């Protein structure tokens, strides 16, 4: 099955570079390119891609607003944000808008391809290092705390798993930490997705943070 991708970046050179490195990948096809967020929204509706690679900073409509518009449709594609994490203050906002992960502009080809495949397969790409830095960044700002979210209806084990997901652990790490099988860890995560009406792992991380389950880090 071919993964259909739309590239959205206001810098033509970036789009050309990404398109060039992806062209020779047999299971990924670039079906459209956009130079503004507004155009990305149009192409997402018109072409119905599997993944939109979205730059955060674009004219007319920025990547966060465009992501919000794209992910709140009936059958939305997955969105990968294109960013330089160290410099961008809008990473958390992009997650809340519905992004499923991140691509850094200087990532190696193998990582770019892997990221596209991961989110196209329905998972979220948020590495533990990104989770840690994201939360550290948010909690180090003046008035950093978002509105608290009350989470109810979870078993004690599900609550424990949510805390670990929010800390950036993979299913394998959760299984090892709780001395349970990998299949059991996956089942707990799946139940959390259902109970919290979360689209993917990124939204579980946000839920854990907003519920105050993830401690601030300096």
Q: 112-165, pLDDT tens digit by residue? A: 888 888 888 877 766 555 555 665 655 555 554 554 678 889 999 999 999 998
Query: Comparing 3-125 with 128-213, is the CATH topology the same?
Result: yes
- CA 71 to mean position of chain CA atoms: 11
83-99 as b/e: b if 16+ CB within 10 A: beeeebebbbbbbbbbb
Top-confidence residue, 44 or 212: 44
- Beta-strand ranges (E) seen in the chain are 3-8, 28-34, 51-55, 78-83, 101-104
Whether the pLDDT of residue 215 is over 80: the answer is no
- CA 83 to mean position of chain CA atoms: 12
Superfamily name and number for 128-213: Response regulator (3.40.50.2300)
Token representation of residue 62: 């920025």
What percent of the chain stands above pLDDT 90? Answer: 37
d(CA 74, CA 77): 10
pTM: 0.71
CB atoms inside a 10 Å sphere around CB 55: 25
- Return the CATH class of domain 3-125: alpha beta
Any idea where the domains of the chain sit in the sequence?
3-125, 128-213
Give the pLDDT score at 192.
93
């Amino acid at each position: 099955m071919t993964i259909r991708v739309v590239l959205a970046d206001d810098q033509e050179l970036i789009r050309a570079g990404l398109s060039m490195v992806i062209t020779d990948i047999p299971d990924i096809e670039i079906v459209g390119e956009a130079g503004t967020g507004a155009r990305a929204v149009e192409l997402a509706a018109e072409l119905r891609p599997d993944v939109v690679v979205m730059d955060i900073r674009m004219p007319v409509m920025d990547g966060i607003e465009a992501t919000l518009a794209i992910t709140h449709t009936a059958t939305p594609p997955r969105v990968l944000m294109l960013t330089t994490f160290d410099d961008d203050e809008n990473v958390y906002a992009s997650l809340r808008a519905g992004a499923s992960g991140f691509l850094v502009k200087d990532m190696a080809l193998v990582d770019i391809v892997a990221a596209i495949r991961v989110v196209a397969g329905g998972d979220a790409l948020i590495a533990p290092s990104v989770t840690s830095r994201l939360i550290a960044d948010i909690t180090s700002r003046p008035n950093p705390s978002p509105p608290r979210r009350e989470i109810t209806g979870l078993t004690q084990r599900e609550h424990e798993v949510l805390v670990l997901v929010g800390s950036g652990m993979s299913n394998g790490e959760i299984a090892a930490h709780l001395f349970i099988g990998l299949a059991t860890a996956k089942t707990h995560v799946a139940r959390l997705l259902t109970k919290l009406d979360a689209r993917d792992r990124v939204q579980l991380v946000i839920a854990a943070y907003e519920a105050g389950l993830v401690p601030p880090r300096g």
